[in-house]
Amino acid sequence: MSATKTIKMPIIAPSILSADFLNLGRDIEMVNKSEADWFHLDVMDGRFVPNISYGMSIIAQMKKLATKTFDVHLMIVEPEKYFEEFKKAGADILTIHYEASTHLHRSLQAIKSLGMKAGVSLNPHTPVHLLENIITDIDLVLIMSVNPGFGGQKFIPQSLDKVRALRQMITAAGANTIIEIDGGVTLENAPEIVAAGTDALVAGNTVFTAPDPLEMIKKLKRVGK
């Protein structure tokens, strides 16, 4: 994906799940003027994960105000039913779960044919080697470093081994796949996450509960420098 060549690493993707929904416009403007690169948007259906968040109508409203890439993370069963609707709502990157996709190859082609980048997310128990035969078709792999469903959870340390293994796989295949990590990212653990080979950091709680979110994003952006 060319985004990695033009954007300074690491890519920072604040997760709107932790934003203040009574002041959503204000929080979107904050991300707009920050050093963040993407908006990370978590869609939950109460079936794939034990929580329900928001869907395409909220995303379409946000798109009117937001000025950065929409990185949409679908934590839903049968995601293929909704690709077109998420495209219409403004998704630039559409990530589906490996565990929710019976025909992953077909789904990735469908996402790309609609003009979006295609991502695959792995739950903490799903090994990265399962992507070996499809890695060159994937624009982004989202490693879940918590069990999906909620913000503010603790980072699972084994996720770092998954990032390292995935980095090796991507290099060996000569692929351009972006590695994104999602869940429990803090200013303290971000340096080793980036050192392991991660390109993009999702951060919800860490950004939106910070006394100064703009400053927090700035600090995350400088990790590894």
Instruction: List active site positions.
Output: 42, 182
Q: Which stretch binds Zn ion (CB under 5 A): 2-10, 127-135, 180-188, 207-215?
A: 180-188
Beta bridge partners of 93: 71, 117
**Nearer residue to ligand DX5 within complex by CB, 46 or 168:** 46
> Between the CA atoms of 186, 188, 194 and 196, what dihedral angle is there, to the nearest 10 degrees?
-110
Question: Does residue 180 bind Zn ion (CB under 5 A)?
Answer: no
| Cβ distance to ligand DX5 smaller for residue 51 or 175 | 51
Of ligand DX5, Zn ion, none, which one does residue 55 interact with (CB within 5 to 8 Å by kind)?
none
**In the complex, residue closest to Zn ion by CB:** 73
Element (H, E) at 126: none
Residue for token digits 């203040």? 20
Asked whether 131 and 167 are in contact (CB, 8 A), the reply is: no
CA distance 119 to 111: 9
Among 53, 13, 24, smallest CA distance to 148 is for 53
CB nearer to ligand DX5: give 34 or 172. Answer: 34
Rule CB under 5 A: say whether 45 interacts with Zn ion.
no
Q: Out of Zn ion, ligand DX5, none, which partner does residue 79 contact, by CB within 5 to 8 A per kind?
A: none
Per the listing, tokens 């991660």 go with: 198
Separation between Cα atoms, residue 55 and residue 33, nearest integer Å: 24
Of how many residues is the chain composed? 225
| Rg of the chain over all Cα atoms, to the nearest angstrom | 16
**Span of 53-61, 96-104, 158-166, 178-186 interacting with Zn ion by CB under 5 A:** 178-186
Tell the burial category of 89 from Cβ atoms under 10 Å away from its Cβ (0-12, 13-18, 19+): buried
Select from Zn ion, ligand DX5, none the partner in contact with residue 18, using the beta carbon and a kind-dependent cut-off of 5 to 8 Å.
Answer: ligand DX5
Residue 205 site contact among ligand DX5, Zn ion, none (CB < 5 to 8 Å, cut-off depends on kind): ligand DX5
Instruction: Answer yes or no whether residue 73 interacts with Zn ion by CB under 5 A.
Output: yes
Residue 146 near which of ligand DX5, Zn ion, none (CB within 5-8 Å, type-dependent) = ligand DX5
Take residue 158 and report the two structure tokens written for it: 């084994």
* Residues making contact with ligand DX5 (CB under 6 A): 15, 17-18, 40, 42, 73, 146, 148-153, 182-185, 202-206
In the bound complex, what is the minimum distance in angstroms from residue 170's beta carbon to ligand DX5? 21
Strands (E), 57-108: 69-75, 93-97
Measured from the CB atom, the residue of 109 and 126 that comes closer to ligand DX5 is 126
Q: Which parts of this chain interact with Zn ion (CB under 5 A)? A: 42, 73, 182
